Amino acid sequence: MELNSSAQALASESPWLKRVAILAFVLIELVFSPFPGAAADAAGKGVIHISITDIQPQKSGALVILLYDRSGWLDAEKAIRHIEVPVDGKGALELTLTDIPYPASYAVQLFRDGNGNHKLDMHWFPLPGPDEPYGFSNNYKPFAKPDFLKASFPLNKSEMALQINMRN
């Protein structure tokens, strides 16, 4: 901190005045500077409203909804959100995911867990495919291993809505 010449003369004559000036400077910095967590808060926490349709009401089991970022794609243990909702008798479902950091890109995978094993069951013959109803954000229908970029969507505002149709 630099003092002008008159302030330096005054500070040399009165050491307590220098301390008061430094304290005032520190207090001004604390009041008008962003707090350490302000950058993270400026990024924001968003809300994603998801509308799921074409759920087969006659099938039993929970609907598993997984929200991923690119680094955790298709690894349920690395999902940003993992929700299981009983849907017996329902043909459609609305849910809201809150406190989702943005801006960022995410993808949603969902499936009807008919046997309660918490994973999407697959068959391998004659062609590989899911044994349980499923869906992805963007209503993406993969013909091979699902691609994050094709299922992903940007969350760049505080609130957005998705509609996902189940594939049976």
**HSE toward the beta carbon, residue 36, CA cutoff 13 A:** 0
Burial class of residue 166 in the structure, from the number of CB atoms within 10 Å of its CB (0-12 exposed, 13-18 middle, 19+ buried)? buried
pLDDT over 80 at 97, yes or no: yes
DSSP reduced 3-state for 166: coil
| 5 — pLDDT class (breaks 50, 70, 90) | low
| 61 — pLDDT class (breaks 50, 70, 90) | confident
pLDDT digits (tens, 9 = 90+) for 12-41: 566 655 665 555 554 455 444 444 433 334
Rg (CA), the chain: 27
What superfamily would CATH give domain 41-165? Answer: Immunoglobulins (2.60.40.10)
pLDDT digits (tens, 9 = 90+) for 112-136: 998 889 899 998 888 888 999 999 9
